[in-house]
Chains A and B, each alone.
Chain A
């Protein structure tokens, strides 16, 4: 363990103490800074887990990743008999949280709920100091498929009609939730597939502004995911279609394959936003028993009724839950990395 990492751990402890102590016990919390409270980390003889497990969420509180995480940790706590502390490190399109995870010790006490393809974007398109091989992947959580929406009363009902409309108009305005990610890639792939259509692509910077722009008709269409869009709004906007081979259950809309749009890349594979649990690389090698404890307990969560009903309360998250074991998760991460790399030149358009 490097001294750099010790001090980082100290800081976490410092906040925890400082906050718990509040204004009253200032002297006490300063003491704890001096002492350092991580004497017990790295001791492989102890029973795991014997301290809090930090879950990094690289997004703000209240966002989709945060809500999914907070719906999960109570059940995980019960199964693993551990206390999970969710910490939000938003910023840098998940890179701030990503670097936090990369810098953490692979001791089973720091994990993250990350999402892809944003995760890949940080090392492919940004200057993140890590890449795919620097992490251990514990399992997927859910897959929210990429889906196209249109304002109410638009003159098109599905994606095929929208593409036809774009052809006639010459240029149409399409909003995406981010500059680099599944929504933007879906739009770029479609524009690239059909030579005679042109999109005025606007990054609306998040799910809420995208929903608002769609409801108010500021865009001709927008790209988001059904759960992220919030299924409470079914009926208020038009669901043009999902970038998948099969339709999904969360939002009544045809899939691209059903509409005969299979010339668009990635329709066969099904394309959306994954949430997955990631740990600092080396956990499996250095602490195999901790790794297994985490992997097995995580898999068990999806069998628990209390988790499923909590997910249901989160706007029907239960319908898109999609657990994959570590091996299948790695394959999915690889597949997403490959096509993000393959289609990288498309993003120059932004």
Chain B
């Protein structure tokens, strides 16, 4: 078994030797940083917008490019956080709190260097965890029968409010809305059309990528248009090489802080529905809770511990979030939901069995994370302050460019103009959801999980000959999943 996975790792490494693949990593990280450094451009959006561009390429360079861009974008979200107190993405909100204070003290270059170092190291560590853990989990995932897949889908929907601190009702309502959308199309058991209103294209349902583009991209553009100018003032950043040396020393002298953030990021990332946006808050709070009283009071006033807490966790989510995405076909975050779409566009079927079918590519993908995160250091250390300038691009250029790319992305899913109406519809819905504080990831997960949950329920029920005891308590996996569902609901209720 170990030998087999070592062989697969080697064949994955062989894929990486292709110059085109290496170029894909180098370009991907660079493009990801550029996109991520623009406030409002999340990693999710970066993947969505870049996916159609990868369609003409082979799966290996295409997916590795996207994964690299994902890592670059998560890292770069912290650049505008530090420089102008505006997070580039929800995963970098806490970085503002201490990062910007440090910038005000004239330590911008030092802070940016610390951010690049911890992002890079955390990304690499999480990738190594993924490399060794994912095959074990993938093997375990093969034990998941239909009824376990159903329960896991329910767990994925109930954990969102617990993880995000959102309202239970709103998260579940959003999830149920997604499930409802997922019922459109031929029903999986009998192939009879449901809710298609006579449109043939709807027989294959509403594609979740279309929903994702609407909710995560178009809605954000509406909001950007509403907010208007991103940032106005332009401050000069001064720094020197010695600040970068100090940055290395700062990280090296705080290994516990770094490892804690990295572990929190990997764990939170691996939960379905929770990504960098959740991890950086959890990590920051834990860092403060662990600190002695004197240090705890200084959080938010510009201490490097705050930056380390935020940035070590957000890049580690990438490795974690890929675990359920690759092994169960259930995305760990909005970004991996977008990646899931890209994976199936390139002809791979995520879910149990992916490691069997496409071992070399999956390992190449994981190994590319290591190289990609090293490149974050290469690009980030010298370049961060220049990438910071991207925050000043006026919305009048951003919005039309992004909307055009979204239209191409929405069209590319299945060559259908019909889907563009859905992009618009979900864009408007997204604005409503954000205004009324419905977590956006809930409806998207609902759409993705609808098919999994329905097939799991129906076939599981039939296989157990309609016996509910056998269905819910037939295996220890089912019982553990039921306990997890209960736990996430209880946590949400108690937390109020």
User: Which residues of A pack against B, CB within 8 Å?
Assistant: 11-12, 14-15, 18-20, 22-23, 26, 29-30, 60-62, 66, 87, 89-93, 95-96, 99, 121, 125-127, 173, 175, 178-180, 200-205, 208-209, 212-213, 216, 218-219, 350
Contact = CB atoms under 8 A, between A and B. Distances in A.
A11 B415 contact: yes
B404 interface: yes
Interface stretch (B4-12, B152-160, B457-465): B457-465
Nearest to B145: A218
A23 B49 contact: yes
Given A11-B417, A19-B408, A93-B191, 18 more contacts: A11-B411, A18-B408, A19-B56, A22-B53, A26-B405, A60-B349, A61-B347, A91-B205, A92-B185, A92-B193, A173-B465, A200-B462, A202-B463, A203-B190, A205-B459, A209-B455, A216-B143, A218-B463
B414 interface: yes
27 contacts: A11-B411, A15-B411, A15-B412, A18-B52, A18-B412, A20-B56, A22-B52, A30-B404, A60-B347, A61-B345, A87-B415, A91-B204, A92-B185, A92-B193, A93-B191, A95-B186, A96-B203, A99-B200, A126-B191, A126-B193, A200-B465, A203-B188, A204-B459, A208-B349, A209-B459, A212-B142, A216-B142
Contact of B404 (A26, A92, A125, A350): A26
Contacts of B201: 96
A50 B404 CA distance: 31
Given A19-B56, A173-B465, A202-B459, A92 B204 contact: yes
Given A18-B412, A61-B344, A218-B145, A23 B405 contact: yes
B399 to A, nearest CB: 14
B486 to A, nearest CB: 26
Contacts of A205: 188-189, 455, 459
A99 B193 CA distance: 14
Nearest to A216: B145
Interface in B447-463: 455, 459, 462-463
Contacts of B411: 11, 14-15, 18
The contact size tier of chain B is: 35 or more
Contacts, number: 122
Interface of B: 49-50, 52-53, 55-56, 142-143, 145-146, 185-186, 188-193, 200-201, 203-205, 344-349, 352-353, 357, 401, 404-405, 408, 411-412, 414-417, 455, 459, 462-463, 465
A60 B344 contact: yes
Contacts of A29: 408
Contacts of A19: 52-53, 55-56, 408, 412
Nearest to A17: B408
A89 B416 CA distance: 10
Contacts of B408: 18-19, 26, 29
A11 to B, nearest CB: 6
Nearest to B207: A91
Contact of B203 (A12, A23, A92, A180): A92
Contacts of A96: 200-201, 203-204
A15 B415 contact: yes
B415 A125 contact: no
Contacts of A14: 411
B49 A203 contact: no
A269 to B, nearest CB: 25
A62 B462 CA distance: 28
A26 B405 CA distance: 8
Contacts of B52: 18-19, 22
B188 A92 contact: no
A166 to B, nearest CB: 15
Nearest to A61: B347
Nearest first, the 9 A-B pairs at minimum CB distance are A91-B204, A61-B347, A92-B203, A22-B53, A93-B191, A202-B462, A62-B347, A18-B408, A99-B200
Contacts of A60: 344, 347, 349
Q: Which of A26, A90, A91, A125 has the largest count of B CB atoms less than 10 A from its CB?
A: A91
B190 A12 contact: no
Given A93-B191, A350-B190, A173 B463 contact: yes
A62 B204 contact: no
A329 to B, nearest CB: 25
Contacts of B186: 91-93, 95
Contacts of B193: 92, 126-127
B349 A62 contact: yes
A208 B353 contact: yes
B349 A179 contact: no
